[in-house]
Structure 1
Amino acid sequence: MQVNPYLFYNGNCEEALKYYQKALGAQIEAMMPYGDGPADMPVPADWKTKIMHARITVDGEVLMASDATPGDYHQPQGMSVALAVEDPADAERRFNALAEGGTVRMPFGKTFFSNGFGMCVDRFGIPWMVNCPKEDM
């Protein structure tokens, strides 16, 4: 069994995934627009280029995503995508890239449990936690 986060966006999924490609080194493995669905699937004309399903990997870990159907998007709450990064400088670089244009909830820095930890919401509305865990954690 595999458990993977599935992220929903408000019409900017493709832009977000291309940003993660640049900022995190993500690999975009699949990106299917709504227009590629069955001909009888009701899709507004301006939504045909929006993403129905996508799959990316970040350092081998899978994230899936899509644009929520019109009127169904809700800002994510009660969750964060967590990145564990071994090198503190790399963790801080990734945190800063995710926080750029977004909101920092906890600035990246050393904590009692981590060589570096920070929390942010990226410019696309996705909450992230970036952690560089101490060896004994």
Structure 2
Amino acid sequence: MPTINTYLTFNGNCEEAFNFYKSVFGGEFSFMGRFEDIPSDAGGDSIPEDQKNRVMHVSLPISKETILLGSDTGGEWGADFKAGNNFSISITADSKEQADQFFEKLSSEGNVTMPLSDTFWGDYFGSFADQFGINWMVGYNSQSNQS
């Protein structure tokens, strides 16, 4: 069954915000990666020095069904940052085919910001704003979906 979670975007204070959320909800981060962790062949060399310690991705499990997800923005993505509109709906599909279906249907008449593709972090992933301006992320991870 696919899952839907909220993905929050920050402009340099993601770690501070997620430490606050962790103090409220409890638990531990299941993942915390920084922009400096991006391999050079995936664009890591182009990250400005002052942004390398920013959070590339963080996951905070809230319950069995819910994970609060987030990252900092920066570089070319930072220009579009607007507090209050800095979230996306994240869908984790059960298969690549299902990810393709969700992506194709939801992005129809929208604005694709990252086409679905295999990524350096192991997910099949893409993002877009739908025709109503809602930001979506669609992904599939074969490792986390194996029985």
Q: Tell me which residue corresponds to 1:54.
A: 58
The structure whose RCO (Cα within 8 Å, separation 6+) is larger is 2
Partner residue, 2:73:
68
Identity %: 32
Letter in 2 for 1:47: Q
Distance 1:11 1:78, change over 3 A: closer
- The structure with the largest strand share of the pair is 1
> Partner amino acid for 1:65?
G
1:11-26 aligned at under 5 Å gives the runs 11-26=12-27
Residue in structure 2 matched with residue 43 of structure 1 by the alignment? 47
5+ long unaligned stretches in structure 2: 88-147
Per-residue CA deviation, residues 43-89 of structure 1 (Å, 9 max, x unaligned), is: 1100000001111112332111000123332112498xxxxxxxxxx
Q: How far apart, in 2, do the equivalents of 1:73 and 1:33 lie?
A: 18
Coordinate RMSD, CA, aligned: 2.0
Does the aligned pair in 2 maintain the 1:13–1:51 contact within 8 Å?
yes
Q: How many angstroms apart in 2 are the aligned matches of 1:65 and 1:29?
A: 12
SS at 2:59 equivalent = strand
AA in 2 matched with 1:4: N
Where in structure 1 are there 5+ consecutive unaligned residues? 80-137
Structure that is richer in helix per residue: 2
TM-score for both structures, normalised by structure 2 = 0.48
- Check whether the contact 1:27–1:58 (CA below 8 A) recurs between aligned residues: no
Equivalenced residue count is 79
Query: CA–CA distance in 1 between the matches of 2:7 and 2:21?
Result: 15
- After the TM superposition, which parts of structure 1 deviate over 6 Å for at least 4 consecutive aligned residues? none
